[in-house]
Chains A and B, each alone.
Chain A
């Protein structure tokens, strides 16, 4: 029976590289996510470097509050896209979801009353609906990025929970906003009647103004949502290390991504140990055994539907252009352990 199974499985086994992502020219959004400390940033930088070789322009975007892009490239990045030194078509930017919310709020009143009476209804709203602030800022960033003409955008996302929440926001917010718009349609005139003839709210905004803003936000979000759920445009690269918790999180993430309808077909297994054959390092061999156990499980579970890429743990930190480039080669050409 096992022979038959092997025969059936063999042709289905997917390439152990990320070549499929490079080849898929229609891809516009690539998310890189996983538990904290598994090498998301290294992987996303490497992937971006490889993509830059075959695409017109690539933007590397970090939504992780603990920004690591600057670290990885040893170059300071900010809220605006900046060219990465040594490349002519690879850009990077770091956004702080919470910070950009403040900017958004400050920007939309504009009359200089921000210091006095707060920043108005949008702010009240932002703190009234849980998660809406992040969703709004996320939508705002996506709007900006969408209007820029990058061919591919690589997201270096925050650790797992965060990422999934981000991806979930469009759906949640769309529902909430649809309800709000509907309510305002029904009771808007009534509210305006209460608020007085001019329909102004205490801080000088009109209700219809706020509603309009919310509605345009909703439209943006649903557009983005539709793009994320399109497997031709979006894919998610899961990064993990061969340890139980990381594996557990990865499985959970894959299931949730499936629930949201977001395509994922790549897993990068990082930090694999390959001790030299004659090595007498007790810890290394013990750890190698443990990694092997989980690696076998990963292969058994994911090999048929995922590109499982195995990356070795290097003896040096992967920082700076040269090292990243060298590391990134291994995403495309499978690493061969020393025999």
Chain B
């Protein structure tokens, strides 16, 4: 695959991550990880869900039972309630610990695959021309600028290509977002909620990368 395309795709990924938001992606991947049938955490998670359901049921029963008229039943429910609550809390802290380490790993990988990759490519192919400009079409200072920092004179350097890609992609994405927001805004009430959040995400999530 040509380097031109690789750089473009890389920039596309970076921009998409920025738009969607690193946190959202982490959450989605975490959900996905939990729902993989074979994964060790999937069982834990399913158990947690079942416990939560049971807990709610017990709570409901507890509220429906009069402690004065049916003390024995009430006390048994209360015991069950306390036990479930304990277990749930333990499980939750376990899952949270897993989740934290999962997010940390994910952030590291994402960083290597995006920012790290960008820097590495820029460094590695810094003197390689991406493509040549037609001879004599541009003045010398333009040629110097687009070959910055050390691609041969008269060619476009990787850094310039990268920033061109990201600039264009940012514009396109912004335009798309504007359209989505507009149609969302005039559309159903339900769709309105998530859009501003997604629209606001690029600015905030840039730091996460």
A-side residues, CB < 8 A to B, are 244, 247-248, 251, 255, 293-294, 297-298, 300-301
A-B residue pairs in contact (CB < 8 Å), sample of 8? A244-B68, A244-B71, A251-B71, A251-B78, A255-B82, A293-B69, A294-B71, A297-B70
Contacts of B70 in A (CB 8 A): 297
Give the nearest-CB partner of B79 in chain A.
A255
Contacts of B71 in A (CB 8 A): 244, 247-248, 251, 294, 297-298, 301
Question: Bound state CA distance, A255 and B72, in angstroms?
Answer: 14
Which size class do B's interface residues fall under? 10 to 19
B-side residues, CB < 8 A to A, are 67-72, 75-76, 78-79, 82
Contacts of A251 in B (CB 8 A): 71, 75, 78
Contacts of A297 in B (CB 8 A): 70-72
Question: Which 7 pairs from chain A and chain B are nearest by CB?
Answer: A297-B71, A300-B72, A301-B72, A297-B72, A251-B75, A244-B68, A301-B75
Contacts of A301 in B (CB 8 A): 71-72, 75-76
Partner of B67, one of A248, A255, A298, A300: A248
Interface centre among A294, A297, A300, by most chain B C-beta atoms within 10 angstroms, is A297
Given contacts A251-B78, A255-B82, A301-B76, 15 further A-B contacts (CB under 8 A): A244-B67, A244-B68, A244-B71, A247-B71, A248-B67, A248-B71, A255-B79, A293-B69, A294-B71, A297-B70, A297-B71, A297-B72, A298-B72, A301-B71, A301-B72
Question: Bound state CA distance, A147 and B78, in angstroms?
Answer: 41
Question: Bound state CA distance, A213 and B99, in angstroms?
Answer: 45
Closest CB in chain A relative to B197 CB, distance in Å: 43
Question: Bound state CA distance, A180 and B71, in angstroms?
Answer: 44
Closest CB in chain A relative to B5 CB, distance in Å: 59
Closest CB in chain A relative to B70 CB, distance in Å: 7
